[in-house]
Amino acid sequence: MSTARAEVLRRVRAALAHRPPAPDVPRDYRRSGGPGDLDLFADRLRDYRARVRLTTPDEVTAAVVAALRERGLRQVVAAPGVPAAWVPDDIRSDDHHTAGGVVTACHVAIAETGTIVLDHDARDQGARALTLLPDYHLVVVRREQVVAGVPDAVAALAGVRTQTWVSGPSATSDIELERVEGVHGPRTLEVVVVR
């Protein structure tokens, strides 16, 4: 260590010597520990202008295919781990730059805020660019993935490195406070919630 650096550090320590130590920051956040309310989650999604479809485990494929067909998409990209049946062969694409939509699953969803969290290291959620470039994003959320609040989601995300938190379609406001959708990601978010 240089003499000048040692002198600067000595002076900083001397200046701080009379101050009490910093208090411990509590890291035990309030968690419900239980599942999140699906109806609340769906309501929050609708508040964000997301489209919501409630379905059963046996009808997931039919709900996803119906949503894509109703949207009239010609090219859809699916995350690599998404079941092949979810995206019919006649509209499946490998090019996320030209596709009009993307289909993924999620890692966790938050009922209290209507937020969906994607884990980009997971095969059924794909790379970040896959979910940001197309104009339409359909996410399948299973019952066991919905947690009550943000602390529950943070606990469920321990060890997940690359995440995107989605609360409705991408939106921003211009200088006149006019809402503009689709600037930083998909203009339309559709969520198939599996009861």
Q: What is the mean pLDDT of the chain?
A: 92
Say if 4 falls within a structural domain: no
Residues 6 or more apart in contact with residue 106 via CB below 8 angstroms: 116, 117, 118, 119, 125, 139, 140, 141, 145
Say if 21 falls within a structural domain: no
Say if 115 falls within a structural domain: yes
Say if 92 falls within a structural domain: yes
The enclosing domain of 186 has a CATH number of 3.40.50.10420
**What stretches of the chain adopt beta strand conformation (E)?**
51-55, 76-78, 92-93, 101-104, 108-110, 115-119, 136-142, 146-147, 163-166, 171-173, 179-181, 188-194
Tell if the pTM clears 0.75, that is, is over it.
yes
Rounded Cα–Cα distance for residues 138 and 124 (Å):
12
Say if 185 falls within a structural domain: yes
Per residue in 10-60, pLDDT (tens digit) is: 999 999 888 888 888 776 777 777 789 999 999 999 999 999 999 999 999
Say if 44 falls within a structural domain: yes
134 secondary structure, DSSP code: S
Task: Give the total number of structural domains in the chain.
Answer: 1
Per residue in 77-111, pLDDT (tens digit) is: 999 999 999 999 999 999 988 899 999 999 999 99
Say if 13 falls within a structural domain: no
Say if 28 falls within a structural domain: no
Which residues constitute the domain of residue 63? 35-194
Buried b / exposed e across 98-120, counting CB within 10 Å, b at 16+?
ebbbbbbbbbbbbbbbbbbbbbb
